[in-house]
Amino acid sequence: MPATTEPAVGPPGRTVLDARDIARALTRISHEILERNKGHEGLVLLGVPTRGVGLAQRIAARIAETEGVSIPVGALDITLYRDDLRRHPARAPQPTAIPAGGIDGKTVVLVDDVLYSGRTVRAALDALADIGRPAVVRLAVLVDRGHRELPIRADHVGKNLPSARSERVMVRLEETDGLDVVRIADSPDAARPAEEVAR
């Protein structure tokens, strides 16, 4: 989704992570993934569109720097697996691209920008089950803002961000929005932040 404000300015609100913070967080996540996996063997990174894909590519680039190997990166769209499809206007699915080697027997790391209710991750797990059978599935997110509605937790977190439900957490990334920043602001729609519902 394109940025609604000028790329150089970004969304309003308090900055939680700036470009350097994001870079550091991703570097740390990359190292954590390698450490947890005891190397790069069998790793597949799958980003959840839109912003998770860019994050997955950056993590892969960092792993390539450290290990000198390129690991497979793909995209896993979850639109058709959402449990709230009937509550919202039908949305066109984003591309799903599974790397050539598939995911059977692999360690799949799902990458997303914000972890909130956990419903996106649930949908992603359903989507994965239709595509193959990974040996292990892990979850890496840039921001964990809490308020889980399902028993799901992330394995790798860029920043834990305690937030109120009435707040909006906005992630903007160079690839999709022209700048790297994470901001938090009061939501005009206090009942449920529109941004995360729309994800």
Partner 1 sequence: MKKHLLSSDDLTADDMATLFATAAEMHDVQRREVKKLPALRGRTIINLFFEDSTRTRSSFEIAGKWLSADTINITGKGSSASKGESLRDTVLTIASMGVDAVVMRHGASGAAQQVSQWIDAAVVNAGDGTHEHPTQALLDAYALSRHFGEGDRLGSLEGRHVVLVGDLTHSRVFRSNVITLTRLGARVTVVAPPTLMPAGIASWSSSAGFATSYDLDEVLPTADAVMMLRVQKERMSGGFFPTSREYTVGYGLTRDRLRVLGPEVPICHPGPMNRGLEIAADAADAAQSLILEQVSAGVAVRMSVLYHLLAGEGTA
Q: Is 96 in the site for partner 1 (CB under 8 A)?
A: yes
Report the site for partner 1 in 128-167 (rule: CB under 8 A).
129-132
Residue 178 near residue 153 (C-beta atoms within 8 A): no
**In 39-135, where does DSSP find H-type helix?**
51-67, 119-131
Q: Is 6 in the site for partner 1 (CB under 8 A)?
A: no
Q: Is 2 in the site for partner 1 (CB under 8 A)?
A: no
Tokens 């995209």 sit at which residue? Answer: 75
- CA 93, CA 80: separation in Å to the nearest integer? 7
Shortest distance in whole angstroms from residue 132 CB to partner 1: 8
- CA 89, CA 108: separation in Å to the nearest integer? 31
Size of the site for partner 1 (CB under 8 A): 20
Q: Is 92 in the site for partner 1 (CB under 8 A)?
A: yes
- CA 118, CA 172: separation in Å to the nearest integer? 20
Q: Is 191 in the site for partner 1 (CB under 8 A)?
A: no
Site string for partner 1, 36-75 (x = CB under 8 A): ----------------------------------------
- CA 181, CA 74: separation in Å to the nearest integer? 23
Strand, coil or helix: 42? coil
Shortest distance in whole angstroms from residue 182 CB to partner 1: 29
Q: Is 91 in the site for partner 1 (CB under 8 A)?
A: yes
* Given 89, 151, 162, 188, the residue binding partner 1 (CB under 8 A): 89
- CA 171, CA 142: separation in Å to the nearest integer? 9
Q: Is 99 in the site for partner 1 (CB under 8 A)?
A: no
Shortest distance in whole angstroms from residue 103 CB to partner 1: 12
Residue (3 or 97) nearer to partner 1, CB:
97
Neighbour count for residue 196 (Cβ, 10 Å): 21
**Alpha-carbon dihedral 179, 114, 95, 127, rounded to 10 degrees:** 170
Q: Is 88 in the site for partner 1 (CB under 8 A)?
A: yes
Contacts with partner 1 by CB under 8 A lie at: 77, 80-81, 85-96, 126, 129-132
